[in-house]
Chains A and B, each alone.
Chain A
Amino acid sequence: MRLIASVWPLCDDESVDDLVQLLTPAGQRVEHPDYRLALEAGELLGLYRDMVLVRRMDVEATALQRQGELGLWASCLGQEAAQVGSARAQRPTDMCFPSYREHGVAWVKGVEPLQILGLFRGVNYGGWDPRERYIHVYTLVIGSQALHATGYAMGVQRDDTDDAVVAYFGDGATSQGDLNEALVWASVNAAPVVFFCQNNQWAISEPVERQSRVPIAQRATGFGIPAVRVDGNDVLACHAVMSAALETARDGGGPVFIEAFTYRMGAHTTSDDPSRYRIADELESWRAKDPIDRMRSYLETEGILTADQQLALDADSDALAAAVRAGVLEMRNPEPLDMFDNVYAGAHPLVTAERASYASYLASFVDEARS
């Protein structure tokens, strides 16, 4: 049998030469001809702070899942730079559509950590108002949200504002039909949407080579969408590349595709066991490219981050973790009858009848207990 893997060499995904980078893994600031970045010290510190706090929340959530307080957790460990950098580049009214791992994006958009955790505890399907936060609730069905982002962007286009829209998704998602349709639609309509793909090298157990024979960004060009690959563990580069893409979208330049080359440091979710399919060495090599470490050494070298500030941030992290923990433990389950809410805008006789009959069924237990 001729399987293609044996006759056609894989693309060299490890070649990162074409990645936009502004901060080396060692934390050295480098320049890129196309992407300049002029952030004030306070903003730089802010990016670092976001990443540190998001990671602390993430680690606490994993612990809470282990203790049975969450049903599941999808960690964003290792992807903080891609998420924080790309989200900080957005204006408050730029709408974005996440998948399920975008805790760093949600954080930057002002979603409360406990609002994120509700879905994973199983008390709601999305704890925030997308219209208020300009971030849609998480989408778990791979790829669907890329079309929603595209349609939203077509609305923005008609409203004649210069808002832009962002779709977040993973490397695996690029194989899904909806995602490919979104690229077609955005392209032919010149919709102001940025497709932000976090290529974390894995879709559960499948390496990215199972999804694409070429670097993922290269696919977008076939749809007529300009694409750029960025070091996804470099928060400055992610910020710069996203800022430029959003400007293109705002200025009527149509969609842009960004591939943020990063790595899923943790398991796919708390249900997953990566030891079955990936080697520890890979993890080690990526640990050396940690997004938070490199920003920290850069800020320390520049004298932007002092030892005192770091101590204060550590204290804030611990306080956040404690608040997250306490908040999760206090999270109440919905009432049984809440299940019947929000199925329809108006009354629906079947739902009304089922709710009434279930209410009297539940009441019969109370009566029984009393008698």
Chain B
Amino acid sequence: MTVTMAKAINTGLRRAMDQDGSVLLMGQDIGALGGVFRITDGLWKDFGDSRVVDTPLGESGIVGAAIGLAMRGYRPVCEIQFDGFVFPAFDQITTQLAKMRYRTAGRVALPVTIRIPYGGGIGAVEHHSESPEAYFAHTPGLRVVTFASSQDAYDVTRSAIASDDPVIVLEPKRRYWDKSPLETGDAVLPLPLASIAHAGSDVTLVCYGPTVRTCLSVAQVAADEGRSVEVVDLRSLSPWDEDTVLDSVRRTGRCIVVHEASVSGGLGAEIAARVSERAFYMLEAPVLRVGGFHTPYPVSRIEDEYLPDLDRILDAIDRSFAV
């Protein structure tokens, strides 16, 4: 079966709700409308008001109330409408949700999932195109995941909900309508580690979410130019799969991290630091990063200048080989 990523998430949510009566969805416009991206389409009709809750308009309320529900034995899945609107809930997420297990000496688990459509490239107005993953990956106590295929969308959605830790699920919104194969198994897998999305031997591209597809195109183009590119899809951002990345980099000797978020202080900096620490003598060139600049996300008419694209990644590959 080939389905859109949006449909795969929807199917994953439905399956989780079917299997576990304590799973409930909360968010703005997720009921009759099915969410602004229609990810929860049909769920309110089938599961009703008690399990699909159109919340009042307040993100701190959504996450704060989810914490209480979780303490009472529920598994809330919160939808934040857009990346730029998660910040009113930032305090509840970083100060309460992330630390509760620690503060209660392990007595209180908060199996809360927070789904956030994230990233740019959809021609949106401001606050609708951001990549806030570094804030969350920087916060101990949170697991942070994303995906780049329908199968991973389905699996990650279900494993995030099943996790006894709070999980931030960053959904690459500009890939929602991309179609790829999906098998809807019953087994709930553990949260995934990295996967090799394309095998290669000359340079490793580390990417996740929306930039995976871009990097796969890069691999095609580079192949025509005689360069063999390995594409590592991280999938999980906290924890991230050091072993898979290092194994790849030890084979290729070159590493480039690609993400949409500003590179300064971004996840790429963390990855570059670890790779340098653990594989310094295997590197043929410094680890490079391709991503957004140290500016607010720019207006949509020039967002393509900000987003890492084919040319900028190929350019980075050239620079890596020029060393």
> Are A1 and B32 also in contact (CB < 8 A) when A121-B301, A334-B299, A354-B293 are?
no
Residue contact B61 to A277, C-beta cutoff 8 Å: no
The docked-state distance in angstroms from the alpha carbon of A72 to that of B264 is 31
**One of A206, A338, A361 near B54 (C-beta < 8 A):** A206
B85 at the interface (CB under 8 A from A): yes
Q: Which of B31, B84, B294 has the most CB of A within 10 A?
A: B294
* Interface of chain A residues 1 through 55 with chain B (CB within 8 A): 1, 3, 5
Residue contact B28 to A204, C-beta cutoff 8 Å: yes
Q: Chain B nearest CB: distance from A144 CB in Å?
A: 9
Residue contact A339 to B123, C-beta cutoff 8 Å: no
**One of B34, B88, B125, B305 near A72 (C-beta < 8 A):** B125
Residue contact A351 to B60, C-beta cutoff 8 Å: no
Neighbouring A residues of B138 by C-beta, 8 Å: none
Mask: chain B, 53-94; 1 = CB below 8 Å from A; 0 = not: 011111011000000000000000000000011011000000
Q: Chain A nearest CB: distance from B155 CB in Å?
A: 29
Query: How many residues on B have C-beta within 8 angstroms of the other chain's C-beta atoms?
Result: 41
Q: How many A residues are at the interface, by size bracket? A: 35 or more
Residue contact B57 to A172, C-beta cutoff 8 Å: yes
Residue contact B305 to A71, C-beta cutoff 8 Å: no
Q: Chain A nearest CB: distance from B42 CB in Å?
A: 11
A311 at the interface (CB under 8 A from B): no
Residue contact A205 to B32, C-beta cutoff 8 Å: yes
* Interface of chain A residues 303 through 334 with chain B (CB within 8 A): 333-334
Mask: chain A, 54-76; 1 = CB below 8 Å from B; 0 = not: 00000000000000000110000
* Interface of chain A residues 240 through 296 with chain B (CB within 8 A): 271-272, 276-277
**One of B50, B123, B295, B312 near A361 (C-beta < 8 A):** B312
Residue contact B301 to A123, C-beta cutoff 8 Å: yes
A119 at the interface (CB under 8 A from B): yes
Neighbouring B residues of A276 by C-beta, 8 Å: 32-34
**One of A3, A333, A354 near B50 (C-beta < 8 A):** A3
Query: Which B residue's beta carbon lies closest to that of A174?
Result: B57
**Chain B interface mostly helix, strand, loop or mixed?**
loop
Q: Chain A nearest CB: distance from B38 CB in Å?
A: 9
Mask: chain B, 118-131; 1 = CB below 8 Å from A; 0 = not: 00000111110000
Residue contact B50 to A205, C-beta cutoff 8 Å: no
**One of B50, B126, B302 near A140 (C-beta < 8 A):** B126
Neighbouring B residues of A203 by C-beta, 8 Å: 28, 57
Closest 5 CB pairs of A and B: A122-B300, A205-B33, A175-B56, A172-B57, A277-B32
Binding site for B on A (CB under 8 A): 1, 3, 5, 71-72, 119-125, 140-143, 172-173, 175-178, 203-206, 210-211, 271-272, 276-277, 333-336, 338-340, 343, 348, 350-351, 354, 358, 361, 364-365
Binding site for A on B (CB under 8 A): 28-29, 31-34, 36, 49-50, 54-58, 60-61, 84-85, 87-88, 123-127, 264, 293-296, 298-303, 305-306, 311-312, 315
Pairs A–B under 8 Å by Cβ, sample size 26:
A119-B125, A122-B300, A125-B299, A140-B126, A141-B88, A141-B127, A142-B57, A142-B85, A143-B57, A172-B57, A175-B57, A177-B58, A204-B29, A205-B32, A205-B33, A206-B54, A210-B54, A277-B33, A333-B301, A333-B302, A338-B302, A339-B298, A339-B302, A351-B293, A354-B294, A361-B312
